[in-house]
Every structure is written in structure tokens, then in C-alpha cells.
Amino acid sequence: MSREQLVVQRARKSFQTGKTKPLEYRIHQLKSLLRFISERRKDIADAVKSDLGKSEHGTELFETLGLEGEIKLAIENLSEWAAPRSVEKNLLTISDEVYVQPEPLGVVLIIGAWNYPWAVTLQPLVGAIAAGNAGVIKPSEVSSHSAKVMEELLPLYLDKDLYPVVTGGVSETQELLKQRFDHVFYTGSSTVGKLVMEAAARHLTPVTLELGGKSPCYIDKNCDITVACRRITWGKFVNCGQTCIAPDYVLCEHSIQSKVVEEIKKSIKEFYTDNPKNFEDYGRIINQRHYKRVIALMEGSTVAVGGDSDESQCYIAPTVLKDVTSESKVMKEEIFGPLLPIITVSGVEEAIQFINEREKPLVVYVFSSDNKLIKRVIAETSSGALLANDCLVHYTVSALPFGGVGNSGMGCYHGRHSFDQLSHLRSCLIKQLKMEGVNSMRYPPHTAKKLGWARFLLLKQVNLGRLRRMALLAMFAGLAAFIVQRFLR
């Protein structure tokens, strides 16, 4: 029996004891996870520095701050999320209990990604714990230092049977995927996402796939181009461009291309100085393989800004490519690095057409002062999210479901959406052994009269909220009439 099989069996056995059912237990585990982040902040920062060259403050801002917020939100709202949810009734169920009861799925496999090795691995875990599941955590082997810290330190804080950390490479992940889980949550590329889904299908296991793609960014010529380019520069080059929701390429009219290049160049200097290579807040490509892949994407394109590189450090400067076409090499795959191609279009109509001719992206960005233009882009494109006049920050809004559509993924998480995604929303109807006469319409022999009653009773929805408001209004009207009759006559 493999190590992975033993880990999954132990997690399932522990889950089957029912220890995760009480909300108090879940909250205790969530508080322990919060304590882990607080007490091991330095260990986490050092690991991310070794993996991605990220600064200590950068790690807190982009890795653990949002994670802390998600945990606190779950702790504060868990009793509400886990409570039975009432639903609308029809006339046949007006005297019955009808509700949705969230319940744990079972054992969840969480396969993390290397680009934000803590945020995208532990945020799904927050949802898994809150929903009462066991969770097997598989950090990416590419971010090896973070994986090692997670494996060594997380079990000191969480129940090590319910929430084990499994490290290793492709073979270990493949062995895990042979096991039966109740949900698989994967963050990574579309190519691997298909393999994960194929493996899960053998057990009819549902999946959440947080993938990526080429997220477009349209700049309207009439917007504040300086502010737009400042925000785009930040969104593109944070984490050295290794962000699944980074703007992948810019679409703009030819008349403003030079202005866009100039403003991005200014913002790069403002954020990362004249020498990003020696600047603490500019990171590195994760490894040599990805470095060579990103460098190769520049072939055949004109460098407008940057272009410097150092293979020994996996360093690629913030780079802008101009006069790029749809046939350019850089447009054939998700960049996932610090290259920003600019493609010129005649206007918003051609931009929308360009976007729709490609796979649905994780996010569409649009910069414009014209609300009608923004609404048009919303109406005429499809993507996991749409963000107008900024980059990345929709990820920080816990009330918004974060996820893709089509090739950019399926399912969503963050806040209550994580809880619901990793819960079974169980339909519950509790009837009484009374009023059997009403049921005669469904028993044979079937007649036109019975069908008429069935049509009335089944199709007539009862809005209890409206009935309560009407009853309250009637009560106030009666009270007002009494007061008028008693005291004012």
C-alpha cells in the first residue's frame, strides 16, 4: 500500500468518526490555522523568498493578508453559513418543513500552485475546514521551499490525520489522484487541469478547477491613460508576472500605443527603479525551465521597454512588446511572466471580437470613463470575472465568487462561496402523516378533476415573506381603525 493511499485512508477514517461535524471543532481548527500564519510568518516569508525572490512585506501583502481575512470571515460567519436555509413553498408544502441543509462532502484533495504557494493552497483549505471536511493538502513541488515548510510546520497546528500535507512531484500527485476523494480542488494550468478532471471522473468525483488563460486588457483612448497604465503596470509585473489573473496583453487603438508604452515605462521606473534587478520588491522567475519558456516567447516581437535578462538569476526585466499581432509567438499561450504585449485594434468593437475569438479568460480588464462602453464589454464577452479600471483587486472581495469559465476553469471559491463549493447542499422536506385527503389527487385512478387540483396546488408558489408583510399590514390597519374609533370619534 502506497504512502498516499495510507494518508487518504487515515483521513477518511478520521472524518468518519464525525469529529468535524460540530461547528466548535471547525472553528478551533480555523483558529489554529490563523495562529500558524501569525506565529510562522517569518518561516513563510523566508520560504517564498527562496522560491520566488519575493520580499517579506510582499509575501505578507500577497500571500498571507488575504488568507487571514478569509479565516476570520469564516470564523465570524460559520454559524450562519452552516444553518438550515429556508426555501419557498407551494400550497402542498405550506405546513411542512422545507429547507436546504449544508453538510460536509467528506475528504477533499487540494492541489496547490507554485506562483502563490500559500494563498492558493490554504484558501481552499479554509473552505474545506469550515464546511466540515477532511482535507489532503498537496503543495506544488516547484515551490519546494514553501512545500517543505508546509509539510514540517502545518501538522504542528492542525489535526494531522484530518489535514495531512503530502509532498512530492508528478508521481506522488498521480498516486493521490488514483484514490477516491469526495472533491478535488486544483489550481494550475489548463493542460494539467484536464488530467486532474480525467482522473477524478473515474470515481465520479466533482472538481473545482482554478486555471488561467490569456486575460485581455482593453484601454479606451478617452480614459485617463496615465492612471490606467499605472494600475496595469502594477497588475502585470507583481510577482514577476507569475499571476493567473495578471493582464496577459493590452488591446488599444494605434493612436495611443506610444502614449501607453511611455506611461508604462514611467510606472516601471517609479515602482522598481532604474534597476529592477537589484530592487527588493521585484522577484524572479520560479526556475530555469520557466525562464527559458518566457524568454522564447519574445522571439519575433519588438521590445519597447525592458528586455534585459540574466539566466543565472532567472531574472527577466519588466518588458513591454509593441506592434504584436495575433500570430506572434507571445500570443500562442499564457505568458505567466513579465512580458506585456500590445496589440492595436480599431476600437472597442474589434477588441470585443478579438477576445471572443479566443478561449474564455479568467478575467477581462477594461479601462474607460464611459460606463456604457464598460457595460457593452460586460454584455458582449464572457469570462470568469470582469474588472473595470483596475487590476487584480476583485480577488480581494470575499463576496465575489472567484473562478473561471470554459478553458479558464470551473467552480469558484472565496468567502461563503468556498463553503458552498465544498459542501453538499442537501434538500430536506419533513411532512406529517396528516391531511391524506389532499394526497388523493396523486393516487390512481387519475381524472381531469384531480389533474386540475394538482395543477393549482403544485404550480401556485407561496411567498411567505409577502404573506407576512400583508398580515402585518392588515394588523396595523386594524390597529389604526381601532385607535380612530376609540379615541378620535
Residue 383 φ/ψ, nearest 5 degrees: -160, 170
C-alpha cell at 50: 527562496
Interior CA angle at 420 toward 415 and 424, to 5°? 160
- Asked whether the beta carbons of 92 and 438 are under 8 A apart, the reply is yes
User: What residue spans of 189-240 are helical by DSSP H?
Assistant: 190-201, 225-237
Please tell me the distance from the alpha carbon of residue 489 to that of residue 487, in angstroms, as a whole number. Answer: 6
First to last CA, the chain: 90
CA 222, CA 240: separation in Å to the nearest integer? Answer: 29
Looking up cell 495578471 gives 246
The three three-digit cell numbers of residue 354, written as one number: 478579438
H helix intervals, 238-344 = 257-272, 288-297
Question: Is 210 in the active site?
Answer: yes
Q: DSSP labels for 103-115?
A: EE-SEEEEE--SS
- CB neighbour list of residue 191: distance below 8 Å, 6 or more residues apart: none
Q: Are 35 and 205 in contact (CB under 8 A)?
A: no
Catalytic one of 4, 60, 210, 253: 210
Between CA 150 and CA 133 the distance in angstroms is: 19
CA 222/CA 367 separation, integer angstroms: 9
Report the distance separating Cα 390 and Cα 475, nearest Å.
51
**Contact criterion met (CB below 8 Å) for 387 and 393:** yes
Q: Which residues, 6 or more positions from 179, have their beta carbon under 8 angstroms from its beta carbon?
A: 4, 5, 8, 109
Backbone φ and ψ for 149, nearest 5 degrees, come out as -65, -40
Among 223, 240, 244, 252, the active-site one is 244
Are 234 and 272 contacting, i.e. CB atoms less than 8 angstroms apart? no
Contact between 112 and 140 (Cβ < 8 Å): yes
Cβ–Cβ contacts within 10 Å for residue 428, how many?
Answer: 12
Look up 24 and say whether it is catalytic.
no
Phi, psi of 165 (to 5 degrees): -105, 125
147: left (phi over 0), alpha (psi -120 to 50) or beta: alpha
* Residues assigned a catalytic role: 210, 244
